[in-house]
Amino acid sequence: MERSAFRISGFLAIGGLLALTALALAVTVPVLRASGPHPWMLAVVIGYGLVVSCAATGFTVVNPNEAQVVQFFGRYVGSIRQPGLHWTVPLTERKRVTLRVRNFETDRLKVSDADGNPVEIAAVVVWQVVDTAKAVFAVEDHVEYVAVQAEAAVRHLATSYPYDAHDSGRASLRDSAVVSEELTGELRERVELAGVEVLESRTTHLAYAPEIAQAMLARQQANAVVAARSKIVEGAVGMVSSALDRLREEHVVELDEERTAQMVANLLVVLCGDRSAQPVVNAGSLYA
């Protein structure tokens, strides 16, 4: 798990080094002036140089929306997230990890949907590193890990739903809200190991494979025609029923069963026909 590394302000550390330099000069310069160089001065100079060189390895700069994972001889010390100049444990190795929000778009994957039809699908995933320790140590490469898991999740999603839901109440790949929610949830579980959070995911491409696209287009058109016809018939039956009820209530005309059936048939032909009906005027009596 990520934890904060030891750090102090880099400017404060620079001030400390300057104070140490002033102290060293204050000790050695009077001696040099009074009695000249002494053998122990060489040891002081070498020691001072080693201290400064070692301390200088602790300086690091953290950019905005970045973090640095600090290791001391293979041991995880902690992470630095605050931007600016810092001084941390000397002789440590630091690895930069970006905290920016990233986008990843999968390739167009050819898979079979829940009905066995080959479809092409692609998705875009918006993600961000939230645990730098996991991102560096839990997986080999967290960017590649997200890419592989995203493609695996998209393939699994495509096999779980049909391209088109022919039954009412059944979700399909074309239901973007349902598909996006499930894809995001599955991706969050898959990439949690790498210290990554998926913010959003959506399908960017969805189509039947070219070899069946024409046949499926004809099927979709037929389904649309059937649905439209069903709606028309439902409305026509309601209109005919309302017309007959009005005729009975207002005593406009009394019709026997045969004439009622004929009137219903004529009205349905007029209301459900593809073309405008041509009226036939009966100039005789009601039954002639």
> Hey, which bits of 33-145 come out as E strands?
59-62, 66-72, 75-80, 84-87, 93-98, 102-105, 109-112, 118-129
Tens digits of per-residue pLDDT, 61-72? 999 999 999 999
Instruction: Place domain 102-208 in its CATH homologous superfamily.
Output: Band 7 domain (3.30.479.30)
pLDDT of residue 205: 87
Q: What is the pTM of this model?
A: 0.67
Is the separation of the CB atoms in 145 and 194 below 8 Å? yes
Between 163 and 123, the more confident residue is 123
Average pLDDT, the chain: 81
Q: How many CB atoms lie within 10 A of CB 47?
A: 11
Please report, for the chain, the start and end positions of each structural domain, with discontinuous segments joined by +: 8-96, 102-208, 213-272
